[in-house]
Structure 1
Amino acid sequence: MFATYPHFLAAGLPAVEPPRLVLHFGAAPTSNALLTYLENLPPNTEVIAVTPTPSWPDPGFHLSQWVVADPGATLTALLAALAERPPRPDRTWLDLWHQAENSTRRLLAEAPLTEGPLLAAVVETLPDEARLIIGNSLPVRHLDEYGLPQGKTLRVFANRGVSGIDGVVSTAAGVAAASGRLTVLVLGDLSLLHDLGGLLAVSRFGLRNFHIVVLNNDGGGIFGRLPIAQHEPPFTAMFRTPHGLTFAPAAEMYGLRYRRVQPQDLHQALGAAFSQEVPHLLEIPTDAQAHEAARRDLVIRLGRLSTGWRC
């Protein structure tokens, strides 16, 4: 499994013969780097998508075939068919992507503890069978870019859509109430502001193993990735929308135990919250600009290393 592809694809892989076939399971990917890579494949590359529902999975309109079927069952049947007629292995692609993955993981281990690595820290701390709800905008992208396989079974949920930030607290509370499992919601400050009223469900439904981690970068950090960030005004007032608020009063009003957590203390704070049957709101002050600078630096360093990757 290649978990760090958003970084090494953004850095650029060495020139290699493009794939002849791409199998796409599930919805459209979140990663812009992966979408760009797929869109730049030559026209003769066959792209087959398998989705469980008839929801169009290809915003770039590059599909050769589209199959509506259970992805797991389809993959199981495909592996059984390949076992009967094993193909001749060609390790060119595998070796190249392994080198890229290994290089990226080494750099990530040295990366500063900005917003993205904080998502990885949450995943590392969660116990088996926990429920993880990921907020829209930057958190879901941070998970895609920085989350690594952990060898545990987690159920991960996310709202999608143009207004995906609306109601995310209520969604998470519903997951906690329905599952009865330890549930953690990770979201940004604007998402929490949009659904503060959803916190009422915590006391109304007696949710005890429900915890919220809010990455407070004081506004809409994701807009710093868009071209509009170069235009000031109206960028700060109309897009970033800083508010200067903290969530301690909201936690007190809705009956959650509040704690302001520094990034380096997140593991300990989550562990302490999980050991108590009391809902928590952990607020982490973050700097979206510092994270973006660290992410760009990582891609630049990978670009330098990629010249040593061999096909």
Structure 2
Amino acid sequence: MTSPRRPFREFDDAYDVESLRLARRVIRGLTMSMRHIVLAPGSRSAPMAYALREAEELGAITVHVRIDERSAAFTALGIAMATKAPAGVVTTSGTAAGNLLPAMMEADLSGVPLVAITADRPEELHGTGANQTAWQQGMFAGRVRDEIHLEQGEARLEPESRDDMLAAETQVGLLLRAATGSSPGPVHLNIGFRDPLVPAQREGTHQSGAQRWARTPFVRRTPVVADSAEQLRAQIIGGEILDAQDPAEVSDAEVTSARRGAGPGSGASKGTSGTDPAVDLAQRRTVFVMGADAPAEARELARRLGQPLLAEPTSDARWSDLGAVQGYRLILQAPAGSPASELAGSIERVVVAGRPTLTRPVQQLISRDDVEAVQYAPGGEAWFDHRLARRRLDDLTATALFAGLAPQGWHEAWTERGLAAQRLIDAALTEQETLAQGEISSVRVAQFVAETVKTPLLLGSSSVIRDVDLAAVLNRSVLGEEVAAKPGPGAQGGRRVYAMRGLAGIDGNLSAASGIALARNTRVTALVGDLTFLHDVNALLVPATEREPDLDIVVVNDSGGAIFDQLEHGAVGRREGQAETVERFFGTPQTVDIEALADAYGHEYHFADDLETLGEGLSGLEDRIGIRIIEVRTDRTVLRDFHARLLAAAADL
């Protein structure tokens, strides 16, 4: 006979209340792959707070405290965006949990591993009218990769073995695995805690094993993408390595024996394990459209094939040293009959990588009847709908076969038109300053900030990111100086452009920028409009006990919503009797004193009325700590006419 298995106990905290014991097991599971948790205070979540303090003292996790749950959630979102690892947000029950929804929605569609940890009332209190009690199980259904509910008294605290699948710690670990799987995204952990919610009072010191409960997190390593010509070409053509430096110089005859892929006309959306000998990589007029968070290997593939890159700022492909086409939006918008229009009209195929969200001209290109488009998505995309006209490819070789090699002069033509477009944009901005008698426009501010700052940059939703997309030439190193983060856990070097493009809401942008700064352990610049700033003003409220993020917030203050005037609503507003309606319901003018607001929160303030003073405000990074608000006031009423003049000038592009 065999004796029954006994509980496997790595440490003994049987002396403590059950709510604390459960919280410890939860945090052990979290710290296997999580380095940061943002906590909003509450009573029902108190066991998590006490256990998190213990874990932080043991060096297992870093805890950040925020008062507003929505700000806390977006701060955690920013941390997860920067680290590409799970970050958690802890709230109490009731409306506190509901405030996480906007960040969870953004995390869902942008594929960010945000972990919502909501404390709940025990099941016997539901339906009794108990205070702050709502049904929280499944509250994020349809938006999370997985969700579990742990009920105190039912969750197994002492596992039968190290791999006991029913143990609370193991269940939490599996939940995080869902957050970081092939399709990363948010997950939800709901915990029903029962009283008492505070640690048991003990005489003397803890038992010897009581302080050994926290695990040391491990670092989840991301596979390195091959970036040498030899490695990448080996992937593309099944091991046949080519010596040519310029892919445009490689003839079809040299690129044969492509393996693991299907022919361009086969309609297959996935690679196969078989071989297809003697499949040629034909020449085609293709462009690669790089949207938010585009896979790095797609960028490299376009470069090796010699195909033009049309890259949004958050694609990590917009950098000038990668040869991305400047002013591409103006090329796509150029009036019929212009050389630029003819160039855009000759596109045969489009490879989309990441999620392009910024401009209608790009969407119109992808949807053209005479253009065949595919979506390269090796890990799946949370937002991708298979009803879209473009099919999905998850294999790099199949994508290469679809795109083909660039014909002679194709890439050069796009480069030349792009440089000409950039000259037109710069000239139009200079002309606008002359017409405005020296006042700078919001487009010029966005261009200047994006091209000047040496820090990681978060672009607010709405007009700001579109202005950068239109006008800025981005460099990974500014003035030849590589950006380096301060030493410390999670520190990363290099410049990066961030934005929340999952749902592109204006809420939570400052909080997300704060999270990026905390995670990267370096100063970050957030470039936002005035409404985006005011919508997330609670991000400025950092408890006195907490480390303040090093953050420059550049506020382009045009006293309302500028983007609507550039849409069809702007035309409506110019009809007789409609100006007041459009301004009230879309422009939403505001007169907030941002300097007084900065003073109220105790943050440094700088006003810039020209590019020189703006540059002064952005300089001296080594001398600044904490949050600094830089305000630039502009006039949004001139933007529609500016874009009209720019489009008219594109007739000669």
Same fold (TM over 0.5): yes
1:24 to 335, 349, 352: 352
- Go from structure 1 to structure 2 and tell me whether the alpha carbon gap of 1:226 and 1:68 turns closer, same or farther (over 3 Å shift): same
**Who is 1:175 aligned against?**
516
- Go from structure 1 to structure 2 and tell me whether the alpha carbon gap of 1:186 and 1:216 turns closer, same or farther (over 3 Å shift): same
Query: How far apart, CA to CA, are the structure 1 residues paired with 2:639 and 2:586?
Result: 18
8 Å CA contact 2:331–2:341 kept in 1: the answer is no
Query: How far apart, CA to CA, are the structure 1 residues paired with 2:559 and 2:386?
Result: 31
**Who is 2:617 aligned against?**
269
**Who is 2:546 aligned against?**
205
**Who is 1:184 aligned against?**
525
Asked if 1:145 is matched to 2:492, the reply is no
8 Å CA contact 2:566–2:639 kept in 1: the answer is no
2:603 to 248, 252, 256: 256
Query: How far apart, CA to CA, are the structure 2 residues paired with 1:68 and 1:214?
Result: 40
- Counterpart residue type for residue 62 of structure 1: A
Please report the RMSD computed on the Cα atoms of aligned residues, expressed in angstroms.
2.8
Shift of 1:278: 4.4
Shift of 1:57: 4.7
Q: 1 or 2, which has the higher helix percentage? A: 1
**Who is 1:48 aligned against?**
374
**Who is 2:407 aligned against?**
89
- Go from structure 1 to structure 2 and tell me whether the alpha carbon gap of 1:88 and 1:301 turns closer, same or farther (over 3 Å shift): closer
**Who is 1:309 aligned against?**
none
8 Å CA contact 1:54–1:68 kept in 2: the answer is no
Query: How far apart, CA to CA, are the structure 2 residues paired with 1:199 and 1:302?
Result: 42
**Who is 2:26 aligned against?**
none
- Counterpart residue type for residue 122 of structure 1: V
- Counterpart residue type for residue 393 of structure 2: V
Higher relative contact order (CA 8 A, sep 6+): 1
Query: How far apart, CA to CA, are the structure 2 residues paired with 1:189 and 1:247?
Result: 9
- Counterpart residue type for residue 4 of structure 1: G
2:418 to 71, 82, 101: 101
1:1-311 superposed matches below 5 A: 1-12=324-335, 13-16=340-343, 18-42=346-370, 45-51=371-377, 52-57=379-384, 61-63=388-390, 65-68=391-394, 74=396, 87=405, 89-91=407-409, 93-110=410-427, 111-112=429-430, 113-127=440-454, 130-152=455-477, 153-162=494-503, 164-201=505-542, 205-207=546-548, 209-229=550-570, 230-231=572-573, 232=578, 233-264=580-611, 265-272=613-620, 275-303=623-651, 305-306=652-653
Query: How far apart, CA to CA, are the structure 2 residues paired with 1:125 and 1:107?
Result: 20
Query: How far apart, CA to CA, are the structure 2 residues paired with 1:194 and 1:57?
Result: 29
8 Å CA contact 2:441–2:634 kept in 1: the answer is yes
Deviation digits for residues 73-108 of structure 1 (CA, Å, limit 9, x no counterpart): x48x977x99xxx957331x3343223212112223
Shift of 1:277: 2.6
8 Å CA contact 2:442–2:634 kept in 1: the answer is yes
- Counterpart residue type for residue 334 of structure 2: A
Query: How far apart, CA to CA, are the structure 2 residues paired with 1:163 and 1:60?
Result: 22
Deviation digits for residues 100-145 of structure 1 (CA, Å, limit 9, x no counterpart): 2121122233323421221221122222xx3211111111111211
Query: How far apart, CA to CA, are the structure 2 residues paired with 1:105 and 1:60?
Result: 36
Query: How far apart, CA to CA, are the structure 2 residues paired with 1:177 and 1:225?
Result: 35
Deviation digits for residues 221-270 of structure 1 (CA, Å, limit 9, x no counterpart): 11102222314242111110101223111111222111111132222221
Query: How far apart, CA to CA, are the structure 1 residues paired with 2:593 and 2:624?
Result: 23
| SS state at 2:342 partner | coil
8 Å CA contact 1:175–1:183 kept in 2: the answer is yes
- Go from structure 1 to structure 2 and tell me whether the alpha carbon gap of 1:107 and 1:274 turns closer, same or farther (over 3 Å shift): farther
- Counterpart residue type for residue 263 of structure 1: D
- Counterpart residue type for residue 206 of structure 1: R
- Go from structure 1 to structure 2 and tell me whether the alpha carbon gap of 1:106 and 1:87 turns closer, same or farther (over 3 Å shift): closer
Deviation digits for residues 262-297 of structure 1 (CA, Å, limit 9, x no counterpart): 132222221146642342100100112223322321
- Go from structure 1 to structure 2 and tell me whether the alpha carbon gap of 1:210 and 1:274 turns closer, same or farther (over 3 Å shift): farther
- 246-255 vs 227-236, greater mean Cα deviation: 227-236
Shift of 1:299: 1.8
Deviation digits for residues 182-222 of structure 1 (CA, Å, limit 9, x no counterpart): 10111111111111111113866333531100000100111
- Go from structure 1 to structure 2 and tell me whether the alpha carbon gap of 1:33 and 1:164 turns closer, same or farther (over 3 Å shift): same
Q: How many residues align?
A: 290
Give the share of equivalent positions with the same residue, in percent. Answer: 23
Deviation digits for residues 151-174 of structure 1 (CA, Å, limit 9, x no counterpart): 424222212355711111111111
- Counterpart residue type for residue 219 of structure 1: G
| SS state at 1:15 partner | helix
Query: How far apart, CA to CA, are the structure 2 residues paired with 1:266 and 1:47?
Result: 42
Q: Based on CA coordinates, which of the two structures has the bigger radius of gyration?
A: 2
- Counterpart residue type for residue 331 of structure 2: F
Query: How far apart, CA to CA, are the structure 2 residues paired with 1:158 and 1:220?
Result: 18
- Go from structure 1 to structure 2 and tell me whether the alpha carbon gap of 1:203 and 1:143 turns closer, same or farther (over 3 Å shift): farther
So what's the TM-score if we normalise by structure 2?
0.41
